[in-house]
Amino acid sequence: MKTAFIFPGQGAQKVGMGLELFESSAAARTCFEQADEALGESLSELIFKGPIESLTLTANTQPAVLTVSVAALNAFAERSDHRPDFVAGHSLGEFSALVACGAMGFADAVRTTRARGLAMQEAVPAGQGAMTAVIGLQDKEVEAVCQQVSTEEVVAPANFNSPDQIVISGHKNAVERAGAALTEAGAKRVIPLPVSAPFHSALMVPAAQQLAEVLQGIDLHQPQMPVVTNVEAAPNGDSDRIADLLVRQVTAPVRWTDSVRFMIDQGVNTFIEFGPGNVLAGLIRRTERSATVISVNSPDGLDKASQALEKLK
């Protein structure tokens, strides 16, 4: 029986996330303090008190979700020395996964995700981009419709989240045209998402370029266990490839469904989700109903994860 530690991305945030961990775990509390020090501001106060309008700004959301995710992981490490067979993260969550496997220092990850969030926020003027979730169609059907409508404007799959959920991204008008065409093609639901930019699309090239510059100044280390990357849906254990994969991820689709299937094919049957919310747990259950998924974002979640891993032993 194998395990994977997984980490959520943007969209999981809410005011007050991680507060129970902060109050109950010295390791988690240290994590929040280190994030504040790394940025030279009280990110923890924004996380715990809001306002939500500031927390949902991409430049704040990314280091905030990372911090809560790593705080949950560190709180768990106070109880268990369990070493997973794989780590993986959804989009932004890949940075948390890199911290978890020792490939990137936590303070560096906080500063890098702040820079990444700011670059992504500024890459496309407000109102020009959009993202929409498509429920109930296959990958190839969505890809074909996007190709048909993206003549002079960009629209393409951005997140392959589960077998029945794909997110498309690009120019606002093109995304709307694709949404209408996908509804006609039989999509069960087409849901515009409240995001500030068209992430994981070709419109993010300026952000990818800025991230590449930032990563040149970051020390990256050999992962202590394989990282299943968003870009390839395959494990990477080579520190020399990390920066390139992170840069490509900004404009490439997140291949989460294939990543989950890869880990399951390798024998993973237990996934521990560290960070706010339980979005990844839902996506994994849609992909493989037999998988065990435990979300760790509170002391109760820590108990459940510890108990589940004890049973595996």
Is 200 part of the annotated catalytic residue set?
yes
Instruction: Identify the active-site residue in 25, 44, 69, 91.
Output: 91
What does the H/E/C string look like for 41-86?
CCHHHHHHHCCHHHHCCHHHHHHHHHHHHHHHHHHHHCCCCCCCCE
Q: How far is CA 90 from CA 12, 255, 274, 275, 280, in A?
A: 11, 9, 12, 11, 8
| 122 in Cβ contact with 38 (< 8 Å) | no
At residue 131, what are phi and psi to the nearest 5 degrees? -135, 145
Decide: residue 124, CB within 10 A, 0-12 exposed, 13-18 middle, 19+ buried. buried
CB-based contact 8:276 (threshold 8 Å): yes
- List the catalytic residue out of 90, 171, 196, 200: 200
DSSP state letters, 98-114: HHHTTSB-HHHHHHHHH
Q: Is 91 a catalytic residue?
A: yes
Distance between CA atoms of 97 and 249, rounded to whole angstroms?
14
Which two three-digit tokens encode residue 265?
């094919």
Residues recognised as catalytic? 91, 200
